[in-house]
Chains A and B, each alone.
Chain A
Amino acid sequence: MRLIPRLDIKNNFVVKGINLEGLRKIGKPSDLVEKYYKEGADEICLIDCVASLYRRNNIFSIIENATKNVFVPLTVGGGIRSLKDIEQALNSGADKVAINSYATENPKFILDASKRFGSSTIVSYIEAKKKSDSDWEVYKYFGREKTNIDIVYWIEKVQELGCGEILLTSIDHEGLQKGLDYNLLDSVIKTLKVPLIYSGGLSGTKEVQRIKKNYKNISLSMSSILHYNKVTLQELKN
């Protein structure tokens, strides 16, 4: 299992919210990327949380700076809406690209991107919001807008289209540090053909052990718990 610190970026700062809202400044991207690398992150994930909404992308220079001293895989997302964007992300030092909003509007983009850059480069980033105990809806624009797409349907779809990995965020549990959404995990697990990275709500080392033991091929992404120094990566790894 991989442990993957996630850094949400807004206007050149790492920010963090609760349920993807109320974003608070945490620090400088390059400082935190390097810190988590040194603490033993298996990979690192950076998401520009306003890029899609404002249709801009200034995360590339951040990646360029952040990756000079970091030698584990780096996934970058937020505002990716063309093959050119992907190329630019990779040239800046990203190893994988996470795509959410634009894929929900134009699913074929996942297909084109995986064909061009290889499946293992393309991560389908999915924001899930609970409708009932057994239904989740896909959201876009960093949890701001509904899509009317069902989560299980969407996971099947993006796998069919050729993504190499899925990054799934539970909007409801995100930022709370009160535990993962196991109902969500259980509902999607049978559908999986590619590795899944789950993010949202990690509460501590016990949960890491629980996932390791009971869920195969699932990796964990976390942010609040690290940003607020509740636990170190080293502790989560042991």
Chain B
Amino acid sequence: MKKICILDYGLGNVRSLYNSLKKLNFSPVLFSENIKNNYDFVFIPGVGSFSAASKILNTRKYLDFLQTHRKSGKKIFGICLGMQILHSFGEENGACNGLNYINGKVTKIESKNKKILPLVGYQKVRFLDNINLPFLKEYNLEKFYFVHSYVVSLSSEKNLLGLTYSDDYEYPAAVIDHNIIGTQFHPEKSGEVGLNFLKDIISKY
């Protein structure tokens, strides 16, 4: 059984993710309740502002924990804001630093059409072929739940794992760099498809 940790750093609701993982018969542990350094999978959830997440996560306690897992090749999985914070920096409330595991920046959604924000709802995701994650083909063009006003702009295409579209706008829905992965969407709130996706990522990645 894979050992899973949810990094509950105070932003957003961790209960949905916790319930989903329980449903899949995993036994997730909350970081705040049990700090060990031997997890197979560390989830970074989060809802709220990049600057708030940056302030909290860029402290010794969290940085050391994440760095240990990153270096030992364990998997780190960021969801929504937790995915955005994996990147170099965010432009909300002036530039501030992300974890810089993936080169890229996080910017507000801007569109020629008048845009209602946040973007909320289910959108199809186009997954790109990835040698290490061949099972993602099964999820190509499935719908996942998104809610966000900011998007990631990657420095390199090699980190792109999946794309989504809204009107005239195309942006990363999933990103990857070695043992670091992130989704802009919420697999834990995307119904049965999302649950299966989570299960596959945890057991096959």
Q: Quick one: which of A67, A118, A121 has the most chain B CB within 10 A?
A: A118
Tell me the complex Cα distance, A92–B145, Å: 20
Over the window 22-53 of chain A, the binary record of Cβ atoms lying under 8 Å from chain B Cβ atoms (1 yes, 0 no) is: 00000000000000010010100000000000
Summarize A's interface: helix, strand, loop or mixed: loop
Residues of chain A with a CB closer than 8 A to B191's CB: 37, 40, 71-72
- Structural contact, B23 and A69, CB atoms closer than 8 A: yes
**In the complex, what residue of chain B is closest to A74 when comparing beta carbons?**
B16
- Structural contact, A117 and B47, CB atoms closer than 8 A: yes
Q: Is B192 an interface residue when CB atoms closer than 8 A count as contact? A: yes
Q: Is B1 an interface residue when CB atoms closer than 8 A count as contact? A: no
Task: Please count how many residues in chain B sit with their CB below 8 Å of the partner chain's CB atoms.
Answer: 31
**In the complex, what residue of chain B is closest to A2 when comparing beta carbons?**
B121
Tell me the complex Cα distance, A71–B191, Å: 5
Q: How far is the CB of A93 from chain B (nearest CB, A)?
A: 5
Q: Is B190 an interface residue when CB atoms closer than 8 A count as contact? A: yes
Q: How far is the CB of B199 from chain A (nearest CB, A)?
A: 12
Q: 26 pairs across A/B with beta carbons < 8 Å?
A: A2-B121, A37-B191, A67-B15, A67-B16, A69-B23, A71-B20, A71-B192, A72-B190, A73-B145, A73-B189, A91-B13, A91-B15, A93-B19, A95-B189, A117-B12, A117-B47, A117-B48, A118-B12, A119-B149, A120-B118, A121-B12, A121-B47, A164-B118, A194-B118, A195-B118, A195-B121
Which residue numbers of A lie inside 8 Å of B, CB to CB? 1-2, 37, 40, 42, 67-69, 71-73, 90-95, 117-121, 164-165, 192-195, 216-217, 219
Name 19 extra pairs, CB < 8 A, besides A121-B13, A219-B121: A2-B121, A67-B15, A69-B23, A71-B16, A71-B188, A71-B191, A72-B145, A72-B191, A91-B15, A92-B15, A93-B13, A93-B15, A117-B47, A120-B148, A121-B12, A121-B47, A164-B118, A195-B116, A216-B116
